Every structure is written in structure tokens, then in C-alpha cells.
Structure 1
Amino acid sequence: MSSLSLSASGTARQAVDAQVPRLVEERFASKLFAKDPALWGPAAEEEAKIRLGWTEAATVSRPLVAEIVQLREDFASEGVTRFVLAGMGGSSLAPEVITRTEGVDLFVLDSTDPEMVQLALQDLDKTALVVSSKSGSTVETDSARRAFVAAFEKAGIDASQRIVVVTDPGSPMDNSAREAGYRKVFNADPNVGGRFSALTAFGLVPSGLAGADIEQLLDDAEEAAEFLSEDDEDNIGLRLGAALGGTKPLRDKIVIVNNGAPVVGFADWAEQLIAESTGKSGTGVLPVVVSEGAPELETRADDVLVVSLVADDAEPVDDQDAVAISGSLAAMMMAFEVATAVAGQLLKIDPYNQPDVESAKSATRELLASSPEPSPAVATDGSIEIRGSEQVLQGATTVPEALKALMAQLPEDGYVSVQAYFDRLGWAELEEIRPVLAQKTGRPVTFGWGPRFLHSTGQYHKGGPAQGVYLQVTAATDTDVDIPEIPFSFGELISAQADGDAKVLTDHHRPVLRLRLTDRSAGVEQLLKAAAAL
């Protein structure tokens, strides 16, 4: 059974004992895999009817394997061995965890930062681009496609033979890609939402082209599905879902840590799955991705539940208020998808809609259309410009003062969200601020790279409980990349995305401190020092 196992303790075990017998009695698992849209109540039925294809993805996706392997071999015979994925949210995070776990290279372009875009546009002589989007209208992926078409043509390469598209059948991108004569168009199951799409064409095409063993992935998923569809109290999907959404009182900060599991980046994938599925209607559970030794693992606040990803031979968890889960990558993906469906029912929300994701997109479009002048900084401290309302800043004119003012507004049951809108490959050191702020505040801290987090935790920030304070970090650069046939550049796009999200958060009465680094290197160093001095 795909080596899937789970143990729970404390309030997590109490939730399992309290909730799973009812779920079994009501045949939740078998109804889920029979694609029963009534499991989340009448208000959710319409959306659920068109979102449950993920339950059979392992079987439905099987015919794709031969096509993907053949295309990879064809590319290799032409000297094309480097693959770039332009995608956002689940359609990029799933291939990233699959390829990183298998140790094969895939450049995941899920940013509009011009420095990261420029990195992606290298080695074009041996590069193919995979564009993944259900509709093709996602601004990040469409902009990346346009940039690659222009770069290929400038290099004397036939762009149509280097672009592979993954999209829903009949979508605008499906039609335009076929008209453009792109190398290959793969259609995904339209009845699967992006965050549940790991085992569909969205997860398999880029992973398989990069060299991952996608046939084994589907074998493991199919085996796990047999167990996860059973109405049995040992069903790990039911047990995990009960722990995520059924604690009393609700432990709504889910701290996810890898404690020896042979999967790389799984917590980031689980973060977008759980946050976007549950964070709405003023409720939800917030995933917090941490490393071993993180402050959240020590403080163990009353609203924190720890979920440890462990190796197959790990001892059962005996820690307070914790869950430990192990298994193959595909089996754990399936288990977390089932658990998210369970948690949605327990939280009385629709796990398949995303009512607040569009708000940031709309604000971005309005800003790009109007091209407003940037708002002046309230103050400049060294290499950092400070912006925020008077209510947030409380008269602060230095970075340490501004950080203190923001943290002073952190509720007892709150969390800190750090959002960095720039190149996550070149400036990964900024993530060091996360455990520092967690240590200083004694509260969970999330870290998201913009704009990709807008397609995951961004839903929770607006639709979930009003518990957060938000630190937005943007950065100037001398680098910019034009977007062909579009009246704005990547630099202007990422700036508008940051401005738009800050506006929506402010409109939702969330406290937002905005720091713009006028020099990336000096600014990152200054910000880390300011956080450490809190």
C-alpha cells in the first residue's frame, strides 16, 4: 500500500477518535471517490461537481506516460535537455516537488521578477518551454510565453518547436497553441482544480520531460487510492483530515516540518493545497512551512498543530498535539488531497472554490491600466524605503521602528506573513527572516515568494480569519525584461502585483508594512539585522 502510515497524539488523536467513526459511518471516503458533490453541503455542490476528477487522476492520466516519454526522447535527439516550466500555484509546485525529490533538473519560472525571468532565458539552444495554465489567461504564464517566443526567435530558433502547452481542452490557450503550431499540446482533465492537479498532465508533463519516473509515480498513487477510498477507520486520509480540521478548539496553525522524509519541497506543495482550499468565509487552517529546530516547534502555542513528514521506519509520534505521516511522494499527495477534502467538510466550507484569489488579480489589472505614479515613501532608512498607513507605522521612520510597530498589532492568536516580491533563486537568504521573527514574536510566521504565493496562501490572507500582520518586501533592480505586445514590462508587472495585493489586504483591514529595497544586497542585509534586533 505505497508505504503510507500515520500516527497522531494529543488533541490530534482526540480529533481522529472523535471524527473518523462518523466519517466511516457516513461513507465519506467511498462517496468522495465516487465523486459525490453533496459531501460539502448544497452551497458547494455546483463547484464540487466539476472539481472531483483528481480522485481518479492516477488512472485517467496513465495514457499520458508514453506520449511524454516519447516527446522527451525526441527532444533529447535534438539536443534539447533543459526544460523551463512557466506555471503558477499547484501547476508549478507539484512538478517542483516531483523533480526535486527525484533529483532531476527543472527550472520552475513562477515569478515575474525580471532577474529570475532573465535567468530562465539562458541556454536557449538546449531549452524547451512548458507553459501550464488551465485557461492560458494567467498573466504570469502568458507573459513568460511571450518572452520566450521573442527570445527563441532572436536566437534563430523556431519557437513553435520548443514550446509545449498543458491546458484544459477547449480553453483559449488550447485553441491559440494549436493555431500557433506549438510542438505539443497536452489536455488535462478540466474537472480538476489547479491545486489538486499534481497527478494530471499539469504535474506529469514537465516532470516527465525533465526525467522523473512518472509511471512509478502513478503506480504509487493508484495503489494509495485503493486504500484511501475505503470506509475504514484506518484510512489515513480520513485520519489526517480529522486532525487538520477537527481539533476542539480548532488548532488553526498547521506547522509542517520535514523530519527525515525522502521528499523535497513537499511542505510547499501542501501549503498551497491546504491554504487555498480552507482559507475562506472567515475560517480555515493556515499551513506554516518550517525547518527542523524552528521556534514554532518549541513554543507549541495552543492554536498550533505540528505535522511531521517522516521516513517509513520512523517511530510513532508521542509528542503532544502532533501528527507524523510517511509514504511515497504520490501516496502522500493523495493522502493530503483526501485530508483537505475531509477538513473542508469539518470546517463547513467549500474546499474547491477560491473566492478571494481574483481580487488581487483585479487590483493588478487596474493598476497596470492606469499606470499610477508610485506612492511616495513615508521614510527612507539606509537602503530601504518604508511605506504603510499611519495606523500601521505609528510614526515609525526607521526599519526597526516600523517592524516593532507592525508586530505590536499582532493578535494573541495571530500570525506574521512575510511576502518577498523578487528572485527567490538569487535571494533565498531572505528566508532567514522567518525563524527570526517567529522567535521574537512567539507566533507562527509564514514566508511566501511573490507573486506565486498569491495563488496559494493569498486566498487565506483575505478569506481566512483576520489574524495576520503582513510584511511585504519588494526590491529595485537595474534589470528589466520587456513583454512583447504588452504595454508593460516584467518590472512593472511585479510592482503592480505587489501594489495590488497590498491594496486588497488594506481594504480587508489587514495591517500591511511595505519595505522596498533600493539595493538588493545591502537591503537584505539591513532587513535581517533589523529583525534580529527586535
Structure 2
Amino acid sequence: MSVRISVGGAAADAVRAAVPTLVADGVASKIAAHDATLWGEAAVDEASKRLGWTHAVEVSRPLVPEILALRDELRAAGVEHVVLGGMGGSSLAPEVITRTAGVELTVLDSTDPGQVRAALADRLAASAIVVSSKSGSTVETDSQRRIYEQAFREAGIDPTGRIVIVTDPGSPLDASAREAGYRVFNADPTVGGRYSALTAFGLVPSGLAGVDIAGLLDEAEAVEAALGVDSDDNPGLVLGAAISATAPLRDKLGIIADGTHIIGFADWAEQLIAESTGKEGTGILPVVLDTDSPEVTAGLPDVQLVRLVADAGEQPFHDGDEILVSGSLGAQLVTWEVATAVAGRLLGINPFDQPDVESAKIAARGLLDARPEPAPAAFVSEGIEVRGTPDVIGAASDLASAIEVLLEEVPEDGYISVQAYVDRLALPELAELRDVLAARAGRPVTFGWGPRFLHSTGQFHKGGPAVGVFLQVTAEPAEDLAIPDRPFTFGELIAAQASGDASVLADHGRPVLTLTLTADAQPGTLLGAAG
């Protein structure tokens, strides 16, 4: 089998307890048959429109020659560099696909003006950009398309030869792009964004960049038959039970790349699982870990570890207390999708909706429309402006005490979410905050680059268990960037997204601390205060 899973400890107990019932209920074959009743009556309407991913290989095969033909056409026109403007599942799947294949793809999943400028400055004359938006109305990708259109025209390049659109049929972007003469690929509208890795959203940018996408589909096809069979060794059932049926529920899932050839898979799995399961006060919180992250050896009772390894072995059970997973990328993509759908059934939630994602978007739009003056900082410490919810700021007097108060708000079964709304190319060291805070707090810590996580893990933050505390890091842009034909800039957009999300989190009773790096601030100061 092209995917191997071996479980131990609590995960093994969960598999032994849950999988026989899943088999008896015909869950695997019903998923393959698009049975929308598996997740309860309230989910039927949404589920009936969101199960196309189970047949993604079959549906996507005809796209392959079309994508490869366009790749050849672009190369003949001098295009050597592919950029992807996308958010959430639209960017994370192509990112893991191309990184694993060793193929260059610039993923522009940010609205930070510095990061947008860096993309525009990178070989524009030899670049093409794929703009991916399922709804066709995503503000981030619309802004990216506008700035690239302007840049191409200013360089004397016809944008219609360099901009490729991926969207659902009938979306506003579908209509406007076709009218403007752009090349458009329509994705399967029965597939939600986070399940879209093997649809046009994953295949178009990856294929244009040079990935063997036919081979990727072959890898997925190799495991599809096994995933549709009601059997005790079905890897989708086994993995779904292992991550969601532990008793008591280990609702933090630490995902560790430990010998796998796949690069960045945990980031993709994070958005799939968090957005699918984090609702109605429950869910599984994925935590992306390194082999030496503090959580790995902490023995936290609510953390289930998954190791992505080179070979999980032939034995379904082992003596450890972890889940071991190995296999090809295409096979793992579809296996984890099935496992997540199974987890939704076991948790009693609808894994295909995202009821809390829109709230942050609405709040950001409201701020963009009104464009109020930023709320004054509670205080400034070493060039870092400090704001936050009253429960955090009221007891703080400087940067270190503000972080200390936030950590004191973490409940016994809680987690810390670090959200960096900054240029990740210019400030990569901020990712070190994750391990620093995990070591200090003794609790799981997630890290997300904003605003891309708003389209994925942002659902868990509002809809999942109310046990998270939130550290936002923002930065004053050194130089802002106007968005063509829009009344706001990229700097105003990312600031509104951060402020909007903070307000929604606060409305949900979540403690929030926002730290804004001014021109005088040093990232090392923040890291020092956090430790």
C-alpha cells in the first residue's frame, strides 16, 4: 500500500475502539459514494455540495495536458518564474507540492507591502502569476492581481499573456477574467478550498512551475481504492480514528516531519484539520513541530504526536505512544482528506463548513470602508507598541509583563497562537517565538503568518474550544504600496485584517495581545521578552 500507518498508545486504543464501528457503518464506501448523510441532518445541505474531492483524480486528469501545454507556451514566451497569488488551501497545497518536487514557485500569500514589493521585483520580465480564488472575490488575491496587472503594463508586457486565473465556474472572477482575455482554469465547484490539493488549485500553479502533476495524480490513484473499502486496514479510517477518537480526546495534534521526503506537509495538514474540525466548541488543533520542539518530550496529556517518517513499517500497531505515517505525497494528500472527513463524523461536526471564517473578513472590510485612526497604544516599550484586551493590558506595564500576563491567561488545557502579520521574508526570525513560548509556558503553541491563516486555522480560533490566547505581531511598513483602483493600500489592508481579527477574537472572549514593531524596534527585543 502506498500509505503506511502504525499507531501506539492512546491512538492504538482509539483505532481498536472506533474503526470496527466505522467499518460496520460503511463510512468509507459511503464517503466514496458521496453520501451526505454521514455527518448528520444539519450538515446534509453543505456536504452534498462538497464531496467532489473523493473523485479529484478522475476529474483532474483532463486538466493535465492543458496545463502542460500552457507551461510550454509560457516557456516559449520567456517565462522562467511562476508566482502564485492565493490564500489558505489555494496556496498551501501548491507550496508543499512544489517544495517536495524541488521546483521553484514564489508563493505570494501575504498582503504585507514589503513582501508584495519583493515578489514584484523578482524577475518580472520572465514571470507569470497564477491568481487563485475559489469565490472569485477574495480581497487579497484581487489586490495581487491588480498590482501585477499594473506592473506588467508599466514594463510593456501584455498582462493577458502573463496572468492565469484559477476559480470556480460562474464566480465574479471567472466572468471578469474571461471578458478581459485572461487564461482561465475552472476548478470543480463541489470541492471546498482546503480539500482542493488535487484539483486545479493545486495542479495549475504546480504544473506551470514544472512539477510532474500526472505522477502526483498517479500517487493519489494508487491509494484511492483502499480508501473506499470498508476494511479495518483502510488508512483513512485508521488515521481518522487515531487523531479524533482518543479517550479522553487528545485535541492537540503535534505533527512532526521526521525523515519524510515531503517538505512542508504539516502546514498543509494544519489548515485542513483546523478549519474542518474547529467548530461548535470542539475540534482538533494541529501544532506544527520540529523534532526538538518542547512539546515533543513534554508528555502533555492532551497532545497526540504524529510523525511523518520515511517508512512507518508493516505492523499496524507498535509499542510507542505516537502515530507514524509514511507514503508518497499524492497518496498522503487524499488519505489525510479522508481521515479529516472521518474525524468530523467521530467528533459530531460538519467538516465542510467554516461558519466563523467570514467574521474576520467582515470586520476587516468594515475597517477598510471606515479607515478609522488606529487605536492608541496602551504604551510603547522599546519601540514596540502594545495593545490588547483589557484582561491582558490592565495588568501590564512593559513588554515583558504584557507577555507574562497573556501567558497567565492560558488555561490548563489551553494553547497559545502566535500570529505574525509581517513580511515573512524580512522577519523570518519571528518564527522562533513558537519554541520560545512553548518552552516557557509548557503548553502547545501554534504559529501562523498573517493573513493567510485567516482562511484556515482562523476558523478553529473562533469556533473551536475557547482555550486559546493570542499574540499578534504586526509591523509598520517601511514603505507602503498602493493597490490600483482601490481606496486603500496594502499596508492599510493588512492592518485592517489584523485589527479585524483581533476584534472578533475579543468579541469571542479570547485574550489578545497585539505588538506592533515600529521602525525603532528590533525583533530580538521581542524574542528576549518572550523568553
| TM-score normalised by length of structure 2 | 0.98
AA paired with 1:485? D
Superposed displacement of residue 321, structure 1 = 3.2
Structure 2 portions without partners, runs of 5+? none
Matches within 5 A, 1:158-307: 158-182=158-182, 184-307=183-306
Matches within 5 A, 1:370-409: 370-409=370-409
Aligned equivalents of 2:374 and 2:71: distance in 1?
45
Tell me the SS of whatever aligns to 1:448: strand
Aligned equivalents of 2:424 and 2:21: distance in 1?
44
Aligned equivalents of 2:19 and 2:449: distance in 1?
36
Q: 1:363 touches 1:504 (CA, 8 Å); kept in 2?
A: yes
Aligned equivalents of 1:156 and 1:385: distance in 2?
42
Which string of whole-angstrom CA distances, capped at 9 and with x for unpartnered residues, describes residues 154-204 of structure 1?
11110111110011111111111100001x110110000000000000000
Structure-1 residue corresponding to 2:152: 152
Superposed displacement of residue 426, structure 1 = 2.2
Aligned equivalents of 1:369 and 1:54: distance in 2?
36
Superposed displacement of residue 391, structure 1 = 1.4
> 1:319/1:472 Cα in 2 relative to 1: closer, same or farther (>3 Å)?
farther
Tell me the SS of whatever aligns to 1:223: helix
Matches within 5 A, 1:421-460: 421-460=421-460
Which string of whole-angstrom CA distances, capped at 9 and with x for unpartnered residues, describes residues 389-434 of structure 1?
3311233121110000000111000000000001122221111110
Superposed displacement of residue 287, structure 1 = 0.3
Structure-1 residue corresponding to 2:25: 26
Structure-2 residue corresponding to 1:511: 511
Superposed displacement of residue 102, structure 1 = 0.4
Structure-2 residue corresponding to 1:131: 131
Superposed displacement of residue 314, structure 1 = 5.6
Matches within 5 A, 1:345-356: 345-356=345-356
Structure-2 residue corresponding to 1:471: 471
Structure-2 residue corresponding to 1:81: 80
Aligned equivalents of 1:332 and 1:193: distance in 2?
18
AA paired with 1:185? V
AA paired with 1:126? A
User: After TM superposition, where is structure 1 displaced by more than 6 Å over at least 4 residues in a row?
Assistant: none
Which string of whole-angstrom CA distances, capped at 9 and with x for unpartnered residues, describes residues 446-480 of structure 1?
00000001011100000000000100000012221
Structure-2 residue corresponding to 1:481: 481
AA paired with 2:174? D
Superposed displacement of residue 524, structure 1 = 1.1
Aligned equivalents of 1:114 and 1:295: distance in 2?
34
Matches within 5 A, 1:53-132: 53-122=52-121, 123-132=123-132
Q: 2:270 touches 2:287 (CA, 8 Å); kept in 1?
A: yes
Matches within 5 A, 1:408-423: 408-423=408-423
Superposed displacement of residue 119, structure 1 = 1.0
| TM-score normalised by length of structure 1 | 0.98
Which string of whole-angstrom CA distances, capped at 9 and with x for unpartnered residues, describes residues 241-280 of structure 1?
0011111111000000001110000000000000000000
Structure-2 residue corresponding to 1:40: 39
AA paired with 1:282? G
Q: 2:71 touches 2:208 (CA, 8 Å); kept in 1?
A: yes
Aligned equivalents of 2:59 and 2:217: distance in 1?
10
Tell me the SS of whatever aligns to 1:418: strand
Percentage of matched positions with identical amino acids? 61
> 1:527/1:56 Cα in 2 relative to 1: closer, same or farther (>3 Å)?
same
Aligned equivalents of 1:502 and 1:523: distance in 2?
23
Tell me the SS of whatever aligns to 1:84: strand
CA RMSD of aligned residues (A): 1.1
Q: 2:4 touches 2:312 (CA, 8 Å); kept in 1?
A: no
Structure-2 residue corresponding to 1:332: 332
Structure 1 portions without partners, runs of 5+? none
AA paired with 1:171? S
